[in-house]
Amino acid sequence: MKIIGLTGGIASGKSTVSRYFIECGLAVIDLDVIARQVVDIGKPAYKKIVSVFGTDILSEDGSIDRLALGRKVFKDVQLRRQLNQITHWYILLEVMKQIFLNFIKGEPVVVLDVPLLFETSFSKITSQNIVVWVDADTQFERLRVRDPQLTEEEARDRIASQMSLDKKKKLANYLIDNTGTQEETKDQASHVMRLISPGIVHKIVYLVAIPSFCGLWFLWFVKRLWTWW
């Protein structure tokens, strides 16, 4: 199974590209979604976060107030490291589970949508990486429009907390330039999708060889069990 990383910077357009991949039938694992699930009320990561950051980062209903937590961690590198240390282990466990489930389903390619792909060790499990790039001004403007609750300084802190998009661009196997229209981005995404899609040999191995091997092994096992009985 090919595991492809999809990354970029905050508001560079990863979700826009990953939504398009999903529409086209690709299996995508979104780490922002998993990062939200692992801190649901009562989960182990939730308890650790409350014990480190206190109850003033909680909303009235007891869930984590993401804006309040974000305000703390994006302006303090030590606090951000602490939050990452708490959450990334649980995120990794869930990612492994979802990769395994996709493997069982026979998905030949899985895309991992990971904002911090190069900043963390997630890049060790991907074989090739797609970077969604925009220039710094566009990134800042889109972030301000999408998240109007952030002040200008908070938006800058969030961008500065990540590896720059120009550095990520250099690490890309496939680059998607998202400075143009969404249609132009979709055209590039569809070109990249053709390049990462499995070739005929890969398809045969996945759709015929592996299921046949598992089936034969299962029959052999049943026969042995029958004889023994």
Judged by beta carbon, residue 108 or residue 115, the one nearer ligand COD is 115
Question: Which one of ligand COD, ligand ATP, none interacts with residue 181, CB within 5 to 8 A by kind?
Answer: ligand ATP
Instruction: State the DSSP H helix or E strand holding residue 21, giving kind and residue range, or none if neither.
Output: helix 14-23
Judged by beta carbon, residue 136 or residue 207, the one nearer ligand ATP is 136
Q: Which long-range contacts (CB under 8 A, 24 or more apart) does 84-90 make?
A: 84/120, 86/45, 86/48, 86/49, 86/52, 87/35, 87/38, 87/39, 87/45, 87/49, 88/120, 90/38, 90/43, 90/44, 90/45
Q: CA-CA distance, 176 to 187, in Å (whole number)?
A: 10
Question: Which one of ligand ATP, ligand COD, none interacts with residue 87, CB within 5 to 8 A by kind?
Answer: ligand COD
Q: What are phi and psi of 204, to 5 degrees?
A: -60, -45
Site string for ligand COD, 114-153 (x = CB under 6 A): xxx-------------------------------------
Q: Could you tell me if 131 and 166 are in contact, meaning their C-beta atoms sit under 8 angstroms apart?
A: no
C-alpha dist (Å) from residue 58 to 3, 47, 55, 66, 220: 36, 11, 5, 8, 56
DSSP string, 76-88: -HHHHHHHHHHHH
- Residues between 45 and 84 that touch ligand ATP (CB under 6 A): none
Under the binding rule (CB under 6 A), the answer on residue 108 touching ligand ATP is: no
Residue with tokens 């034969």: 216
In the beta sheet, which residues pair with residue 112?
A: 5, 29
Beta carbon of residue 14, minimum distance to ligand COD (angstroms, whole number): 7
Judged by beta carbon, residue 20 or residue 206, the one nearer ligand ATP is 20
Beta carbon of residue 114, minimum distance to ligand COD (angstroms, whole number): 6
Beta carbon of residue 170, minimum distance to ligand ATP (angstroms, whole number): 18
Site string for ligand COD, 6-25 (x = CB under 6 A): ----x---------------
List interacting residues with ligand ATP (CB under 6 A).
8, 10-16, 32, 115, 142, 146, 178, 181-182, 185
State the residues that interact with ligand COD by CB under 6 A. Answer: 10, 31-32, 35, 66-67, 69-70, 73, 80, 83-84, 87, 91, 114-116, 158, 161-162
